Structure 1
Amino acid sequence: MKNILTVKNLTTHYDTPQGPARAVENVSFTVKKGEMLGLIGESGCGKTTVAQSILRLIEYPGKIVTGEVDLDGKDLVNAKTSELEKIRWKDIAVIPQSAMNALNPVYSIGDQIIESILLHENISRKEALNRTKTLLELVGIDKDRWKSYPHEFSGGMKQRVAIAMALSCSPKLIISDESTTGLDVLTQAQVIALMKDLQRKLDLSIIIISHDLPLVTSICDRIAIMYAGKIVEWAGTSNILQDARHPYSKGLLDATPDLANPEKKVVSIPGTVPNLVSPPEGCRFRDRCQYAMETCAAAEPELVAVKSEHYVSCFLEKGAKYVL
């Protein structure tokens, strides 16, 4: 299946008085046409920075140091600002974390969607309005509410409006950045079900950024697990659930309650994500890993294939023995 997005060795740093914070380092992954990819990890692992780097929305003191981002043949890292303005929304769109902050309170929700359409497509306002009404119906909102303002909608409905806006120019890829954070559990389920339904109907490619492992595993085709600015495991969802290889991936699963198995003991991962201004030498997870070896401090593990389309960055996958 064709790759819509290819990210290779993406590295993004933030300048600080203490030195560069290495928020994202040598991150590589692909998103296939019609695929939903989950990008998960604890807060501070670099997930949002990856999204902002793909969209070229990194601002000072942040900067993309190296790497390639190819969106269906278009080089986003080296594209001029004028080219990016045409690509955003038309080819790639984002559903922000907080629709309440993303929507302008002084414009109707319809006018905001219409504006995004007219900026990128050479059609009349009447045609843009008709498309807006269709989009609102697609996300479960009465088309006659296009004149309503954001304050007249609930949090879940605002999120639906944000999804409609992301779909407004029929992009090839949508990035959903913690778009259900702050919503109640029932509304979260409705929004996620809507996104999955839209993905199937429109053959969309979607990146879901989240720290909610159960949510991601319930809807995504593949999952990339990030820790301290790096991808430590990347595989199909069933492989992650049934055969997670990296100690961090296993830790996330062990720390997740299982409603189907209420007797399962929930075990948290000790410690916190390291300071990325001065991350540990070697494997960045080693200080929290129960299987850490001398090798883990001496060198940095590479992301290697352990089986078909299952990649892991851990020395345990090279036949090394545990040091107890």
Structure 2
Amino acid sequence: MSEPILEFDDVSIKYRTRGGGAVHAVNEASFTIGEHEYFGLVGESGCGKSTIADSVVGGLDENGEVTSGAIRFKGTEIQDYSEKQFNKHIRWKEIAVIPQSSMNSLDPVMKLSDQAIEMAKYHTDLSKREAVDRLRELFGVVGIPESRIHDYPHQFSGGMQQRTIIAFSLFLRPSLIIADEPTTALDVIMQDQILDYINALKDDWDVSMLMITHDISIVFENCDTMAVMHGGQMAESGSVIDVFDRPRHPYSILLQNAFPDIRYPDRELAVIDGYPPQLTERPDYCTFADRCPWATQECYEGAPGPETVDGNPAHRAWCIRADEMESLAEEHLTASTQATNILEETHE
């Protein structure tokens, strides 16, 4: 087991609202990312993924705060860092971000080479020429002609802008890159290319990755370890192999079965009915209970803690019925497929 780069230890985050209330966006989240490890964080919109990413780089909105728990980067707690401390010790130097929208992340009125010079001015001792040379080198890494370093962002396509952001994320040689929905708004061909470039970094650069996405298949294909979130709570964490082969949280199971699988082209896809909770109060129950086919009264009587799966301490599920889920899910999904087949036969 490698030394941890990033540790989330029972972290809770809330946002204050104008009316004096609060939104409890993240509740007692825990996970660890090791050196040279690609970690995927999966969940639907609003579950708290991007809030976690923002908290790591001190990017929470003014009304957001870490209310409990610890965020440790290379063993040092950073959740209470000031803006000055984040700028001096964390942002870009140690942790870089590939955001959802590259178009909003590049200065539209500055040439890309000038943006590299500006970054070098504030964070390094590189000369202007050295900064431009480094950007030229990184353009080669992400497959953009080196001659384009003096262009403006608007002269690039969306895919090229996203690759430019990847180049800038590597500029200061960080230890951790946070990729927040890095393929959003790109066509499927360009999505595949961007993921190829991100994966290539693992072999050529000494870097760890926190990849945030709503698409569980992207994590299965590109990450080593992962966690699944729902409604501000952790649902399951472990290696991608463990979560893929032996999911034990209801949300993980239904989410995985909601995606097509080329191995089972005739399989009936699962449907997750209902809506996530609003989280205007700190949840003292399982936030998936209202949508869960296997919920019991006990699920509403306390927030679930992590349960070790099959004696594997690296694979955990935040579900009181984790030990039963394999057989329960098999019965439920088989029954759903049979009901669908009967309905189709009736209409023929």
Matched residues in 1 for 2:30 and 2:219: separation?
19
Matched residues in 2 for 1:63 and 1:182: separation?
29
- What are the residue-to-residue correspondences of 1:1-324 with 2, within 5 Å? 1-16=2-17, 17=19, 19-86=21-88, 87-278=90-281, 281-306=284-309, 307-317=312-322
Mapped contact 1:274–1:280 kept (Cα < 8 A): no
Mapped contact 1:6–1:30 kept (Cα < 8 A): yes
Matched residues in 1 for 2:110 and 2:314: separation?
46
**Match in the other structure for 2:340:** none
In the TM superposition, what is the alpha-carbon distance from 1:319 to its structure 2 partner? 6.5
Cα offsets for 1:90-117 (capped at 9, x unmatched): 0001001000111111111222123222
Cα offsets for 1:276-311 (capped at 9, x unmatched): 114664111111111111111112210132223101
Q: Higher Cα Rg: structure 1 or 2?
A: 2
Cα offsets for 1:113-147 (capped at 9, x unmatched): 23222211112111111111111111111111110
Tell me the amino acid that sits aligned with residue 163 of structure 2.
R
In the TM superposition, what is the alpha-carbon distance from 1:72 to its structure 2 partner? 1.1
Mapped contact 2:58–2:83 kept (Cα < 8 A): no
The 3-state SS of whatever aligns with 1:305 is strand
Cα root mean square deviation, aligned: 1.7
Tell me the amino acid that sits aligned with residue 73 of structure 2.
L
Cα offsets for 1:24-74 (capped at 9, x unmatched): 111111101011000000111000000001111112221121221111133
After the TM superposition, which of the residue ranges 197-206 and 245-254 deviates more from structure 2? 197-206
Count of residue correspondences? 323
Structure 2 length-normalised TM: 0.89
* Change over 3 Å in CA distance of 1:264–1:318 after alignment to 2: closer
Cα offsets for 1:78-101 (capped at 9, x unmatched): 223222102210000100100011
> Which consecutive unaligned segments of at least 5 residues does structure 2 have?
333-348
Matched residues in 2 for 1:136 and 1:19: separation?
47
Matched residues in 2 for 1:100 and 1:219: separation?
24
Identity percentage over the alignment?
38
Mapped contact 1:7–1:69 kept (Cα < 8 A): yes
Structure 1 length-normalised TM: 0.96
* Change over 3 Å in CA distance of 1:181–1:122 after alignment to 2: same
In the TM superposition, what is the alpha-carbon distance from 1:263 to its structure 2 partner? 0.9
After the TM superposition, which of the residue ranges 276-285 and 116-125 deviates more from structure 2? 276-285
The 3-state SS of whatever aligns with 1:259 is coil
In the TM superposition, what is the alpha-carbon distance from 1:190 to its structure 2 partner? 0.3
Matched residues in 2 for 1:265 and 1:113: separation?
50
Mapped contact 2:283–2:303 kept (Cα < 8 A): no
The 3-state SS of whatever aligns with 1:245 is coil
